Structure 1
Amino acid sequence: MNTNSPSSAPLSPRPLSHAAGTRRQVMTARQLREHGVATADAARRCRPGGPWQQLLPGVYLLHAGPPTPEERLQAALLYAGRAPAGRTAVPGQTRGTPAPAAARPPASAPAAAHAEAAAPVPYGDAMITGPAALALHGFAAAPALLALDRIDVLLPRTRRLRSTGLARLVRAHSLPRPDRITGLPVAPVPRALADTVAVLTDAAHVHRLLTEAVRGGHCEAAAVVRELSQARLLGRPHVSDAVDGLIAEGRAMAEGRLYAMVHAHALPAPLWNVDLRLPGGPHLGGVDAYWPDHAVAVEIDARTPRRASHDEAALWSEYARKRETLERLGITVVHVTPRKLRESPQQQAETVRAAMLAAAERAQAAHVVVLPR
């Protein structure tokens, strides 16, 4: 039977009945064909006054009226994530590999409907990014999904698709691991921020987004700066100014969490934000907290390289060199990250306490001069 003929599929094919009242109100032409709906039938249903709509090339909305925000997201993902022409994506198959004939069940078989319903939605490597992703992550400074004219979708640079309609395609050499929000693949906050900032010119808006990322606990400042650097956005003055504020914001929040950790877990009061120096000798470096009676120092590792990746290596080398110098003098240095201070303060406090208890078993540390920083 010729499934491309308008008369080959019933007007209301039975395999689609399971979709009524479910999330699967957005389907691709391939999915419809698997349910017995030929392309010509789908086109006829999308005529003015018809029961369906074509949201994007090869992507159909199976009801009249405006699509919901979730349906628009699904449509953009289905358009960007569809298999290349002449290929069919099946569960467990590597993208780009031709599907075996046995993987294509007859459209009229009832089992096809159940198999399609159980299979993961074929979004492939595509994921929501940009303002829509920030809205899904709960950013107050991001526009509402209903207010977005276009949905940004991140996909591999090798895919040969064009932005069209409500879908704006953003390409990348390498893709991050997506978060899952309401079942949809969504770019992590740092990547979504970079893709959003790339098209913004309002310095105040950029500042609000970056500040909310850190204050809202979505991610650390270093992760945002790293993503902006890789996207080559730090050369833009309004982005660079916002990043300066972001770094200061992230540093202040990490210091606040360190203060809270010390008090909440009843650690002895340290000397805060001090420089260490050998008597009459060279400067050894600054630390965020120092317990002179135990020769234990805490340093917040908040490296935020502003340029290429070699800057991060240089920053790490500086951290390591300072730590080695202090430990040769008998001072134990405990490195904590802003993320660990936020997610596991008790564990960090136990690490500091263990270093203090071990001080009694160590040789006496060299005398150092402690100066306010």
Structure 2
Amino acid sequence: MERLRAASWEGVIGIDELVAQGVPERTAYRRTQEDGPWQLLAPATFLLSNGEPTYRQLEIAALVYAGEGAVITGIGGARHHGIRAGDDPSTVHVLIDEPRRVLSTSRIIVERTRRLPRPVTRDGLAVAPLVRCLTDGTRRIKDLAVIAAVLSEAVRRRMALAAALRRELDAGCRKGSAAPRRVLQAVDDGVWSAAEYEAREFWKAWDDLPEIEWNVRICDEAGRFLAIADGVVRELGFVWQIDSVEHHFATPEQVEETLAYQRRLRAAGLHVLSTRPAQLRGDATGLHADVLDALATAALLPSPRVRYEPPRTTT
């Protein structure tokens, strides 16, 4: 058994290697039967234990099963590049060269492509470049807010350019590309998170709301930094703060920083409206009325004593 484990890749091994190690094919499959010591992770791809495989073992199994030249992509691949946003994947998405024929399984998505990327090694695995991982992954996600979380993280952290993502969408499969294209427009407008994407969609849905800018840097008259405002209507001195739990209320320190942020802006003469993401989803009409009231109040106040810097460029 030690010899087999040494020949495996972290406990994962293909049937050809098992046979080469002296295990008859019939014996290998018999050991995967109910209550057997091994299990099949994919056709002809074995795990030398019967416990729940780790996600890494599934990734290895996908590469072993898909064969020569296979590359991990999608959100799982993006994780290896350091992307944290989005739900952890339950399946492994791999790319193979278009002429080859390998079927997908319940836990492994095998996609044939004429544009097989040159892999990079991440955590000892063959992984597609980040831009390809992101576009392949988001083409398969239905929730626009999740797509926004993933793409905006990559752009905000300067891990990928929005222009490079658009070029990859243009060059690749068009199926499923409409949603990430739509989200990239929001990212171009300065949106940095899923909550801000939902806020932007809400704002655009009402014809009576003025133009708003996203993630604008605000300084006082002397040029001292005050804050980066989620949304700003400059001509009215109005700031819209999206109070997502992740960024504002996850810890006592974040709560205090959020309150200090509001005090700094109000002391400079800006009018601040705070909104929870739940209001965007559950009470659009009521929130619309709140926004109109806040805008009207802001219009009555003296001009704020601040300087604005342009929204961050993402292209």
- TM-score of the superposition, structure 2-length normalised? 0.57
Q: 1:200, 1:171 → 2: CA distance?
A: 19
TM-aligned CA deviation for residue 50 of structure 1 = 1.2
Q: 2:140, 2:6 → 1: CA distance?
A: 41
TM-aligned CA deviation for residue 184 of structure 1 = 0.3
Give the one of 154, 158, 161 matched to 2:95.
Answer: 154
TM-aligned CA deviation for residue 167 of structure 1 = 1.0
1:135 aligns with 2:76: no
TM-aligned CA deviation for residue 223 of structure 1 = 1.2
TM-aligned CA deviation for residue 17 of structure 1 = 5.7
Q: 1:131, 1:192 → 2: CA distance?
A: 6
CA contact (8 A) 1:154 1:172 kept: yes
Q: What code does the residue aligned with 1:163 have?
A: S
Q: 2:124, 2:130 → 1: CA distance?
A: 17
Q: 1:78, 1:53 → 2: CA distance?
A: 15
Q: 1:138, 1:130 → 2: CA distance?
A: 13
Q: 1:203, 1:127 → 2: CA distance?
A: 26
1:227-306 equivalent positions in 2, closer than 5 A? 227-231=168-172, 233=174, 238-249=179-190
Q: What code does the residue aligned with 1:195 have?
A: D
1:326-365 equivalent positions in 2, closer than 5 A? none
Q: 2:83, 2:28 → 1: CA distance?
A: 38
Asked which structure has the greater RCO (Cα within 8 Å, sep 6+), the reply is 2
1:44 aligns with 2:37: no
Give the one of 162, 169, 182 matched to 1:221.
Answer: 162
Judging changes above 3 Å, is the alpha-carbon distance between structure 1 residues 32 and 174 closer, same or farther for their aligned structure 2 residues?
same
Give the one of 134, 151, 169 matched to 1:210.
Answer: 151
Q: What code does the residue aligned with 1:70 have?
A: R
1:16 aligns with 2:4: yes
Q: What code does the residue aligned with 1:225 have?
A: R
CA contact (8 A) 1:77 1:128 kept: yes
* % same residue: 34
Q: 1:235, 1:178 → 2: CA distance?
A: 23
1:43-69 CA-partner distances (Å, limit 9, x unpaired): 121111111111111000001210111
TM-aligned CA deviation for residue 18 of structure 1 = 3.3
Judging changes above 3 Å, is the alpha-carbon distance between structure 1 residues 248 and 64 closer, same or farther for their aligned structure 2 residues?
same
Q: 1:168, 1:232 → 2: CA distance?
A: 15
Cα root mean square deviation, aligned: 3.0
CA contact (8 A) 1:129 1:195 kept: yes
1:193 aligns with 2:134: yes
Equivalent in the alignment of 1:273: none
1:154-199 CA-partner distances (Å, limit 9, x unpaired): 1111111111131111121021111211110111111111111212
1:76 aligns with 2:17: no
CA contact (8 A) 1:15 1:36 kept: no
Q: 1:80, 1:27 → 2: CA distance?
A: 13
Q: 2:45, 2:185 → 1: CA distance?
A: 43
Gaps of 5+ in 2: 192-212, 218-312
Q: 1:29, 1:202 → 2: CA distance?
A: 39
Q: 1:39, 1:198 → 2: CA distance?
A: 39
Q: 1:235, 1:169 → 2: CA distance?
A: 16
Equivalent in the alignment of 2:305: none
Equivalent in the alignment of 1:61: 47
Q: 2:35, 2:55 → 1: CA distance?
A: 22
* Matched residue SS, 1:78: helix
Q: What code does the residue aligned with 2:29 have?
A: A
Give the one of 108, 111, 119 matched to 1:170.
Answer: 111
Q: 1:59, 1:167 → 2: CA distance?
A: 12
Q: What code does the residue aligned with 2:136 have?
A: D
Q: 2:118, 2:176 → 1: CA distance?
A: 27
1:74-113 equivalent positions in 2, closer than 5 A? 74-81=60-67
Judging changes above 3 Å, is the alpha-carbon distance between structure 1 residues 53 and 237 closer, same or farther for their aligned structure 2 residues?
closer
Q: 2:149, 2:122 → 1: CA distance?
A: 23
Q: What code does the residue aligned with 2:132 have?
A: R
TM-aligned CA deviation for residue 72 of structure 1 = 0.6
Judging changes above 3 Å, is the alpha-carbon distance between structure 1 residues 18 and 194 closer, same or farther for their aligned structure 2 residues?
closer
Q: 1:44, 1:217 → 2: CA distance?
A: 50
- TM-score of the superposition, structure 1-length normalised? 0.48
1:191-241 CA-partner distances (Å, limit 9, x unpaired): 111111212222212222111111122222221110111225499654333
Structure number with greater Rg is 1
